[in-house]
Amino acid sequence: MIEGTEPDERLRPHLAALAERDADIAEAYAACGLPPVRRRAPDFGGLVRTIAAQQVSASAARAIIGRLESALTAVDPAHVAELDTETARHIGLSRQKLAYIRGIAQTVQRGELDFAQLAEADDESVMAQLTALKGVGRWTAESFLLFALERPDVLPAQDLALQMAAKRLKGLAERPSAVALREIARPWQPYRSAASRFLWHIYRHPGAP
């Protein structure tokens, strides 16, 4: 993940548009400003890093990915295919996640998954191809669409941090479910990626209203 502290200026026009149509976003945007730069490579390594981040905290994900990058010469199919169980355990990858990324490495090596072609496909096709891979569910595919392929209208509604941020943003009594969050986000189309990035931003921001 390329993650900096500087504001991501590319989000400014979309967040301005969201602020015009949603008073809660407008208030939070005035208080918190733009989210920082955050993106992931649109390749095999980017997908592996996304899988490594499944169901763990942001800080744990960064630690696991850091150890993975230190252990391998490159996060590519050839090196991942050779990753042994003991090294994976030290990195913090479960046996299940190791099996997933080994399987995806083999799929790429067989020519059954092409990331260059994936980058040219529409969102639905990307979702279908990625979720057909063992270990890649909706959250992982949507996160890859958002952070790696940088598609403009993606909402990983199953993400707990997004749900908690939406609860705070909208002053809800309870954390919304994924279904409820998608309904809340309906007016945010076609800028749901910027909205998602902003929800993560206010989840971490101490000055968020």
For 59-97, the pLDDT digits (tens) are 888 899 999 999 999 999 999 988 889 999 999 999 999
Average pLDDT, rounded, for the chain: 94
Q: What is the CATH number of the domain that holds 200?
A: 1.10.1670.40
Q: What's the one-letter identity of residue 54?
A: Q
The per-residue pLDDT for range 6-43, each reduced to its tens digit, is 999 999 999 999 999 999 999 999 999 999 999 999 99
Q: Is this model's pTM higher than 0.85 or not?
A: yes
Residue whose tokens read 């005035």:
30
Q: Kindly state whether residues 53 and 85 are assigned to the same domain.
A: yes
Q: Which amino acid is at 13?
A: P
Range of the domain at 137: 44-148
Is 209 a member of any domain?
Answer: no
d(CA 88, CA 90) in angstroms, rounded, equals: 5
DSSP code at position 158: T
Contact 167, 174 (CB under 8 A): yes
CA–CA distance, 15 with 20 (Å, rounded to integer): 9
Q: How far apart are CA 52 and CA 64, in angstroms?
A: 7
* 164 & 137 share domain: no
Residues 131 and 50 in one domain: yes
Asked if 166 and 122 sit in the same domain, the reply is no
Interacting residues of 86 by C-beta distance below 8 A, sequence separation 6+: none
pLDDT (tens digit per residue) in 125-177: 999 999 999 999 999 999 999 999 999 999 999 999 999 999 999 999 999 99
Judge if 83 and 138 occupy the same domain: yes
